[in-house]
Amino acid sequence: MDSKLFYPKKNLLNEETQTLVPHSKNLVERGIDPKPILIEFCEPHCIFMKEKLERCEKKLEQILKVNPSKSCLYPMRDWVTCIEACVQPKIFHSLQRGSTHQDEIH
């Protein structure tokens, strides 16, 4: 195994803890945006990317003094992409197909 790889050091989900997420379709029907709830649910699935971002931010504090043009853009993008990849399918499957203009013509 590559010694340069970093794996999550902590498990956020406890074996005794049950994670219940309200069904997103139900939330949409009640007029509640399910995305913030689903983001909170998906964050533990992306702990590797979050820890990578935190390491970058810690190193960045020291590097900015020497080179202020550096940033943690790519680790941030990876973390956001991971969360969005978890959240979006859950939201997409809860939406109903609306009528299209073609349906109205026929």
Please state the domain extents for the chain.
47-95
CA 6 to CA 8: how far, in whole Å?
7
Predicted confidence band at 2 (pLDDT cuts at 50, 70, 90)? very low
Distance between CA 20 and CA 26 in Å, rounded? 14
Distance CA 103, CA 88 (A): 26
Is the predicted pLDDT of residue 20 greater than 50, yes or no? Answer: yes
Question: What confidence score (pLDDT) does residue 94 get?
Answer: 73
Query: CA-to-CA distance for 25 and 98, rounded, in angstroms?
Result: 15
- pLDDT tens sequence across 43-60: 999 999 999 999 999 999
Question: What pLDDT is recorded for position 34?
Answer: 84
Average pLDDT over all residues of the chain: 76
* pLDDT, greater one: 18 or 26: 26
Q: What is the pLDDT of residues 62-84, one digit of tens each?
A: 998 888 899 999 999 999 999 99
Report pLDDT for 51: 95
More confident residue, 80 or 4: 80
CA distance 47 to 79: 8
Residue 83 Cα distances to 6, 50, 76, 104, angstroms: 19, 10, 11, 37
Q: Which of 1-5, 77-81, 102-106 has the lowest mean pLDDT?
A: 1-5
